[in-house]
Amino acid sequence: MRPDLLQRLPEGQRRLLRPADDDPGAPMLARLTDLRDFGDDWLFERKLDGIRMLASLRDGRVELWSRTGQRLNATYPEVAEALAAQPCPDFVVDGEVVALHRGRTDFALLQQRSGLTAPAAVRASGVAVTYYVFDLLRVGGIDTTRLPQRLRKTLLRDVLDFRAPLRFTPHRNHGGQQLLDQACGRGWEGLIAKRASAPYTHGRSPNWLKLKCEAGQELVVGGFTEPSGSRVGFGALLLGYHQGGRLRYAGKVGTGYDTATLRSLRARLDAIEVDRPPFGEPVRERGAHWVRPELVAQVGFTEWTRDGRLRHPRYLGLREDKAAADVVRETPRGR
């Protein structure tokens, strides 16, 4: 990194800089949208199907943490080592950890690394990860979040040395339905549209929008059914989302599991089983067991039915990085 990186900015942009706090705060989050017509003040990145992760280097120490504040150094030691070796001695960046399979992000594959903290278990997983970095929150003790999005990405290129497993997240300067169609044709999850002139703010923002190729979101696990036939573990997970102060039932998902997942998930479910359903409405499923609404599942599906149920859902994995209390039904918005 050039030592005069920030000093060479125009005066108007330098006025936006300020000393950085020790705590960078919560990450910026995108809103789901059905908007497809964008002006010139937007840039477009690939929507990555992984684990959101903030990373910092300060006083020779690297810290990796999820959007819920969970420490991830032991789970992704190769990322921590790559960041510790950076020539810039002080920074905070934002990005996403992914596992790639044939050029596509594979959340199910990444699940084999999630939650592992023992070095031997991490090595034995055989799953290589990549940390796609897309934003710069601090450099050299200076808070850069009030700088425009496009400028932060320009600075990011100069701050980090992007060698495996680190990768800069590229973007396009123009996008819309045609770019989304291309992304979907490549098997991507979708696009993230970011307002190029906007600052980095904490929490969900209309300046970051997600355009999805397929319906899908996080849902809270509120129960499960017993397996039938030769199946082991359980039959289906009973899912819901928070609305109006209660857990609304969204349906059940019985596909997307392998045998190992069925067995390991059943053990976790048994440990949090309760006598009463957590849902705020009747759920009529035969042989249902109820659990404390603590686990969050990532689920793909084709659409919502008129009565608020999932159509053709499939289980993709658990989201250890997201709090159950924050799960609501995502609805597309405009700008």
Is 210 assigned a catalytic role?
no
Task: Classify 36 as helix, strand or coil.
Answer: coil
Q: How far apart, in whole angstroms, are the C-alpha atoms of residue 334 and residue 26?
A: 24
DSSP string, 323-335: -GGG-B----B--
Task: Classify 87 as helix, strand or coil.
Answer: coil
Phi, psi angles (nearest 5°) of residue 238:
-100, 125
Amino acid at 288: A
Amino acid at 109: L
Catalytic residue among 47, 194, 252, 322: 47
Residues β-bridged to residue 55: 64, 93
Q: How far apart, in whole angstroms, are the C-alpha atoms of residue 145 and residue 141?
A: 12
Task: Classify 271 as helix, strand or coil.
Answer: helix
Residue among 263, 302, 281 nearest 222 (CA): 281
Q: How far apart, in whole angstroms, are the C-alpha atoms of residue 93 and residue 158?
A: 13
Structure tokens that stand for 196 in this block: 């190029």
Amino acid at 148: P
* Residues 32-68: b if buried by 16+ CB within 10 A, e if exposed: bbebeebeeebbbbbbbbbbbbbbbbeeeebebbbbe
DSSP string, 67-85: TT--B-TTT-HHHHHHHHT
- The CA-based angle 275-277-282, given to 5 degrees, is 135
Q: How far apart, in whole angstroms, are the C-alpha atoms of residue 309 and residue 223?
A: 16
As annotated, the active-site residues are 47
